[in-house]
């Protein structure tokens, strides 16, 4: 009976974690670039009441008798399948159609992160930034050779352009190349948004704000690379990738976790009643 109590307690803990995971998935139903998570369970240690014996002569042998001690969470994995891409019409909004992550940098600390949230804007200094001010990384010069924070302005415009020309618009193609259009009718490549990819994205650590910190366990490319190469997807300008949370599936999992939690609660109640009966037998 004490084993049933501990098993049920482990069940309550495991299914509470399942509820936490599902709750977070549903809460992020409309979070740009969010990837849903799944909790995977495994059995705990089993107590062996009788070991298996080998058949000998007229003895057919016996199978082991074991009683498990409950359940535990084996792992929490993210579903990295692509979400629906939704058109926004905003040139600075970017979505990745396929594999890959944008690389962004904290301008204060210099720390770099990756994200699949392409809700970018152009700040007052011309930098392409995330909603919390992280600067998008890639080729930062018109020659597409220098890595750094991307600016969208007239720096590096060709000598054939008018010295007084101003930027009228810009466009970002599927390879991430940023083309700046000038008031004199000329245009030039200002920079290029590059992407990073990982062989094991499950090893990325979520740090909030739709950002992930990298580690050697994730197995990333040697350096950010042009979209459409090295197994990377292409970039779609004027669009955002929506969350890949399947609400109907999450609701079904929620009901399953709720019923399992209730069943484990019932085991605790029943075990308590049996223990109470044992105590009362002494009276």
Q: How far apart are CA 69 and CA 46, in angstroms?
A: 6
Mean pLDDT of 17-33: 97
Mean pLDDT of 42-61: 84
Q: How far apart are CA 244 and CA 247, in angstroms?
A: 9
Domain layout of the chain by residue ranges? 2-80+245-280, 85-241
> What pLDDT score does 282 carry?
67
Token duo for residue 148: 């750094």
- For 27, the enclosing helix (H) or strand (E) is helix 2-27
Q: How far apart are CA 144 and CA 152, in angstroms?
A: 13
Under a CB-based contact definition with an 8 Å cutoff, are residues 72 and 10 in contact? yes
pLDDT over 80 (residue 1): no
Q: Which pTM was predicted?
A: 0.88
Nearest one of 91, 114, 100, 82 to 209, comparing CA atoms: 114
> What pLDDT score does 49 carry?
84
Please give, one letter per residue, the 3-state secondary structure of 37-72.
EEEEEEECCEEEEECCECCECCECCECCEEEECCEE
Provide the angle, in degrees to the nearest 10, between the axes of the packed helices 247-280 and 2-27: 160
Task: Give the tens place of pLDDT for each residue, 53-96.
Answer: 888 877 788 888 888 889 999 999 999 999 999 999 999 999 99
Task: Give the tens place of pLDDT for each residue, 195-209.
Answer: 999 999 999 999 999
Nearest one of 226, 213, 76 to 144, comparing CA atoms: 226
Nearest one of 134, 224, 218 to 176, comparing CA atoms: 224
| Cα atoms found within 13 Å of the Cα of residue 179, Cβ hemisphere only | 10
């Amino acid at each position: 009976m004490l084993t049933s109590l501990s098993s049920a307690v482990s069940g309550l803990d495991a299914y509470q974690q399942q509820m936490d995971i599902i709750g977070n998935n549903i809460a992020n139903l409309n979070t740009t670039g969010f990837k849903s998570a799944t909790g995977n369970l495994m059995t705990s240690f089993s107590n062996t009441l009788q070991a298996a014996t080998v058949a000998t002569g007229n003895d057919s042998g016996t199978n082991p008798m074991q009683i498990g001690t409950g359940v535990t969470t084996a792992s929490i994995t993210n579903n990295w399948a692509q979400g629906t891409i939704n058109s926004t019409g905003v040139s600075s909004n970017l979505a990745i159609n396929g594999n890959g992550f944008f690389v962004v940098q904290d301008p204060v600390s210099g720390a770099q992160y990756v994200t699949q949230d392409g809700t970018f804007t152009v700040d007052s200094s011309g930098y392409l930034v995330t909603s919390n001010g992280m600067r998008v990384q890639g080729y930062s010069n018109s020659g597409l050779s220098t890595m750094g924070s991307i600016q969208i302005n007239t720096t590096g415009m060709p000598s054939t352009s008018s010295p007084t020309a101003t930027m009228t618009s810009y466009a970002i193609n599927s390879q991430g190349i940023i083309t700046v259009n000038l008031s004199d009718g000329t245009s030039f490549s200002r920079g290029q948004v590059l992407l990073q990819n990982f062989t094991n994205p499950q090893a990325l650590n979520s740090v909030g704000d739709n950002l992930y910190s990298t580690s050697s366990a994730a197995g990333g490319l040697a350096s950010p690379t042009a979209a459409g190469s090295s197994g990377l997807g292409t970039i779609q300008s004027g669009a955002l990738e929506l969350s890949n949370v399947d609400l109907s599936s999450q609701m079904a999992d929620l009901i399953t976790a709720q019923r399992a939690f209730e069943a484990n609660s019932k085991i605790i109640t029943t075990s308590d009643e049996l223990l109470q009966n044992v105590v009362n037998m002494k009276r």
